[in-house]
Amino acid sequence: MPHKTARALDHYQVHAPEYLEDLKTLVRIPSVSFDGFPPETVRQSAEATAELLRRRGFPVVEILEVKGAHPYVFAEYVVDPKAPTVLLYAHHDVQPAGDESLWVTPPFEPAERDGRLYGRGTADDKAGIVVHAAAAASWLRGPGTLPLNLKVVIEGEEEVGSAHLPQFIERYRSRLDADALVITDTSNVDAGVPCVTIALRGIVTAEVEFRALDQSVHSGMWGGPIPDPTVALCQVLGSLVDPAGRIAIPGIYDQVRPLSAAERRAIELLPVSPDEFRRQAGLRPGVALLGDVHPLESNWWQPTLAVNAFQASSRKEARNVINDVAWARLGIRLVPDMDPADVGRRLEEAIRTRAPWGVEVKIKVESHGAAWKTDVGHPAFAAAFRALERGFGREPLAIGCGGSIGFVEPFVKALGGVPALMVGVEDPRSAAHSENESLNLSDFHAAVRSAIALYGELATALKK
């Protein structure tokens, strides 16, 4: 097997520019899955993805439909029904471009600059599609065959919450059987540092509305005796965190587990210093980092609260008034063992009991899923670490993730608890979801090399 892996790697070394062109082709398709954007472009993206997988050697490629959903792409290559099977995941939909005036080059025209490829979807997550396709093709065109069976699912609505994934799994469950799941849609802690994500935070969101008036009134004529709902909402939102930035809701930390010795050691080994974290985040000079632990420990292993949006009036329509209503959307990120329903109840109670002056309160609390954590004891994880080291040329790290990927838990559960290997090509400079999204090209090629090595490693690790 090692000599076959070497032949696959040799093929990729020679043909890497061709696979990069595959990525550029996909990036040119504005496959924004949000409401209000043309669904035809997402279907075009699915068709282009299907064509790519066929061209790269998959004999079975289909576009799979679920009512009301953007199309999925499914591909399969069976070497031997008795051999191990790995299910590969990525998604072909993307976020909106945002403020196009802030892009240095057009968002859907891939452009290489300073060792990076710029364009919407370059990192999140069309690179993931090409990593899978290029690694499979390198085996098929190098040694001439795959070392194990591969199935591929490329989703079309991950960026809008994977709302139809349960229906997809239910409808096509019989076609998804696998011994391991490889998800290429996560980030590394820094460029050149390969990582396996072993934990994800969950999330609970709430929309809050405070109202005091039938309509906005003149702030001079009525100001004084009339409560301002905007001030009321600001007071309550400010009370939800303490001066150190920790959530100030009773009982919210009761279920937060302390770090294990291995998790503590992993934090100590991180190559990212607090100062580097500040730089990566774009924190302004003089603005403090919160907490008394490493910022990534706080980001991965502690719950946090953020106000995502706030509205009372607008800059454009600012007037000398007491606004009749104030609205905000906020979210709490959860860590393992925290119950989303319990967190939602505590959040709602805190807001209602702290609302001053009798203002009317409306709250809509939504749970988007619990946190997720995996056990790295399965041999598939050791295989992944070996493969990443071969691809990147340095020891990989097991990391947490401050974000949420809601489809992971239902996918793993549907497959019977198989190991889920979460690897990705993003780095802190990728600006996924923001303007000037980009992909570190060195990491992209390292990720393909790692995937090539991983298929060989898993063929042995997953033998029945």
C-beta atoms surrounding 412 within 10 Å: 17
- The pLDDT value recorded for residue 405 is 84
pLDDT at 464 over 80: no
Residue 234 is inside which H or E element, if any?
helix 229-239
Q: 220: phi > 0 → left, psi -120 to 50 → alpha, else beta; which? A: alpha
If we measure between CA atoms, which residue out of 264, 240, 258, 259 comes closest to residue 250?
Answer: 240
- The pLDDT value recorded for residue 1 is 67
- pLDDT tens for each residue of 275-302: 999 998 999 999 999 999 999 999 999 9
**Whole-structure pTM over 0.85, yes or no?**
yes
Query: Counting Cβ atoms within 10 Å, is residue 225 exposed (0-12), middle (13-18) or buried (19+)?
Result: exposed
Q: Where in the chain is the domain with CATH 3.40.630.10?
A: 2-200+371-461
Percentage of the chain with pLDDT > 90?
A: 90
- 190-206 in b/e form (b: 16+ CB < 10 A) is bbebbbbbbbbbbbbbb
Q: Where in the chain is the domain with CATH 3.30.70.360?
A: 202-246+302-365
pLDDT at 187 over 90: yes
**Residue 363 forms beta bridges with which residues?**
208
pLDDT band at 420 (very low <50, low <70, confident <90, very high): very high
The first and second tokens of residue 55, run together, are 């061209």
The first and second tokens of residue 405, run together, are 């990927």
CATH no. of 2-200+371-461 = 3.40.630.10
Q: Residue 123 has what DSSP assignment?
A: T
Percentage of the chain with pLDDT > 70?
A: 100
CATH 3.30.70.360 fits 202-246+302-365, yes or no: yes
- pLDDT tens for each residue of 442-457: 999 999 999 999 999 9
